[in-house]
């Protein structure tokens, strides 16, 4: 996520917009939203797999961001902080409405922004497999492999140590690869792979 | 066997250090299990990286605009975003719901002539986002010009910035206002 303006450009950085907002300039928040909402929504969609849920989570994340921006101290980049809020909104959504395994076959990939037929077909399968990955692992996968955040930012967004990020990434990738080929995860008994609390243990 | 499991993510990402890389490479010469895991992890990573970026639907931040004065950050941040659906973080006070959008904002925003969209909707649309970004660019451009001419650098947070901004935003307001419909 861009945490600043373009190099050499005149766009205000996120930090500048946050400062303006704190000084009473509400339009600064509009600018932050327009800059970040796409990533917020994509993060939510990849985590939740349903357009409605993703939209709701994205809205909640942005509203929560608005509410708390006044007390945001800037210890981390605004973008990282917003990722964290969004991830939490997604986990809340999963807790409220745990995905039940059957609708996984009904995942419909919305029309991609960059339209490409082959890509879209494959994306449906990948998204379905992603939803079979335990949510904790999924968070690491979405933030790092899809959204490209460095480990350190993923660690902040998920509020876990760096080593945990790498562990979750690796095990999440294995779970995804297995789900992609229809192989059931080598999970412990009574596993329900897609419940929010179901995947905390790093197994091997 | 001690599998270098903690190194495999970085190995697959290509971000492992030389030593870590060497350790993994040495290990996989005799560990087919880890070799297989690296293959699987690489395929998963590639699949994820191939996912398209999706166009977000219009986001309805409806009540965001209600009940907050335009020029007070303190009020804005403590005042509510009263939506019943919103799960507050533990310990966060929530204002009761019931501030209906649509009545308050226009009174605060007299300069609404030429508005394309009814303010009651307050939806963030992607197009609006793009326009808003453009509007910011315009505003910043005005800043820059003014700063260059009068040496009033618009340093955010400086005591002067409020006055400077107030003076500058007047000319910028006409074209940019419609793009901020959802803020009321």
Q: How far apart are CA A66 and CA B76, in angstroms?
A: 8
How do strand B59-60 and strand B123-124 relate by DSSP bridges? Answer: antiparallel
Q: What stretches of B104-160 show up as alpha helix (H) in DSSP?
A: 105-108, 126-150
| Chain A residues closer than 8 Å to B140 by CB | 10-12
CB spacing of A12 vs B140 below 8 angstroms? yes
E-strand stretches of chain B: 59-60, 123-124
Share of chain B above pLDDT 70, in %: 33
Residue A180 has pLDDT above 60, yes or no: yes
Residue B40 has its nearest CB partner, among A63, A119, A173, at A173
Name beta bridge partners: B54.
Answer: A112
Crossing angle (nearest 10°) for helices A78-96 and A27-48: 50
The mean pLDDT value for B28-43 works out to: 95
pLDDT tens for residues B157-166?
333 333 333 3
Q: How far apart are CA B161 and CA B155, in angstroms?
A: 6
pLDDT tens for residues A124-136?
889 999 999 999 9
Give the confidence band of B59 by pLDDT, cuts at 50, 70, 90: confident
- Residue to substitute from B44, B57, B174, interface A, most A β-carbons within 10 A: B44
Name beta bridge partners: A112.
Answer: B54
Cα–Cα nearest to A51, from B56, B79, B103 = B56
pLDDT of res. A11: 87
CB spacing of B136 vs A64 below 8 angstroms? no
Q: How far apart are CA A56 and CA A50, in angstroms?
A: 10
Give the confidence band of A181 by pLDDT, cuts at 50, 70, 90: confident
Distances (CA, A) of B154 to A24, A31, B132, B160: 15, 17, 20, 8
Q: Which residue on chain B is closest to A168 by alpha carbon? A: B9
pLDDT tens for residues B105-135?
333 333 333 333 333 344 444 444 444 445 5
Provide the phi-psi class of A11: left if phi over 0, else alpha when psi is between -120 and 50, else beta. beta
Residue B44 has its nearest CB partner, among A20, A64, A177, at A177
Provide the phi-psi class of A74: left if phi over 0, else alpha when psi is between -120 and 50, else beta. left
Q: How far apart are CA B5 and CA A204, in angstroms?
A: 9
Q: How far apart are CA B137 and CA A12, in angstroms?
A: 8
Give the confidence band of B87 by pLDDT, cuts at 50, 70, 90: very low
Q: How far apart are CA B62 and CA A59, in angstroms?
A: 10
ipTM: 0.80
CB spacing of A46 vs B182 below 8 angstroms? no
The CA radius of gyration of chain A, in Å to the nearest whole number, is 18
Q: How far apart are CA B125 and CA B58, in angstroms?
A: 5
Give the confidence band of B180 by pLDDT, cuts at 50, 70, 90: very low
Contacts of B39 (CB under 8 A, 6+ apart): none
Share of chain A above pLDDT 90, in %: 64
The residue with greater pLDDT, A124 or A203, is A124
The residue with greater pLDDT, B153 or A163, is A163
Cα–Cα nearest to A173, from B176, B147, B46 = B46
3-state secondary structure at position B59:
strand
First-last CA distance in chain B: 63
A33 CA to chain B: closest CA distance, Å? 8
Locate B99 and state its tokens: 């501030």
- Residue to substitute from B1, B136, B176, interface A, most A β-carbons within 10 A: B136
């Amino acid at each position: 996520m861009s945490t600043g303006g373009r190099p050499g450009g005149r766009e205000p950085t996120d930090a500048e917009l946050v400062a303006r907002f704190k000084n009473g300039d509400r339009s600064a928040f509009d600018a932050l939203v327009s800059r970040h909402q796409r990533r917020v929504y994509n993060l939510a969609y990849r985590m939740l797999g349903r357009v409605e849920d993703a939209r709701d989570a994205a809205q909640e994340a942005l509203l929560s961001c608005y509410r708390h921006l006044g007390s945001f101290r800037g210890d981390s980049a605004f973008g990282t902080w917003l990722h964290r809020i969004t991830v939490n909104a997604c986990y809340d959504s999963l807790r409220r409405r745990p995905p039940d395994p059957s609708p996984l076959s009904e995942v419909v990939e919305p029309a991609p922004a960059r339209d490409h037929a082959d890509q879209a077909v494959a994306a449906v399968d990948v998204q379905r497999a992603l939803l079979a990955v335990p949510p904790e692992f999924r968070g690491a996968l979405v933030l790092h492999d899809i959204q490209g955040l460095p480990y350190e930012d993923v660690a902040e967004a998920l509020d876990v140590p760096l080593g945990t990020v790498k562990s979750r990434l690796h095990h999440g990738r294995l779970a995804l690869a297995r789900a992609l080929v229809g192989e059931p995860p080598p999970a412990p008994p009574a596993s329900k792979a897609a419940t929010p609390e179901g995947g905390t243990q790093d197994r091997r | 066997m001690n599998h270098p499991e903690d190194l495999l993510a970085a190995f697959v990402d290509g971000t492992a250090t030389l030593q870590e890389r060497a350790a993994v490479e040495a290990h996989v010469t005799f560990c087919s299990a880890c070799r297989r895991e690296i293959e699987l992890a690489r395929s998963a990573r590639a699949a994820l990286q191939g996912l398209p970026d999706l166009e977000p639907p219009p986001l309805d931040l409806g009540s965001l605009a209600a009940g907050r004065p335009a020029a007070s950050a303190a009020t804005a941040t403590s005042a509510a975003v009263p939506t019943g659906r919103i799960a507050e973080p533990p310990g966060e006070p929530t204002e009761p719901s019931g501030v209906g959008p649509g009545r308050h904002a226009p009174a605060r925003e007299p300069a609404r002539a030429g508005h394309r969209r009814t303010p009651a909707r307050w939806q963030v649309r992607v197009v609006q986002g793009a326009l808003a970004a453009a509007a910011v660019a315009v505003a910043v451009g005005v800043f820059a010009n003014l700063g260059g001419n009068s040496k009033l650098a618009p340093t955010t947070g400086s005591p002067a910035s409020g006055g400077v901004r107030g003076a500058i935003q007047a000319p910028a307001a006409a074209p940019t206002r419609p793009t901020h419909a959802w803020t009321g």
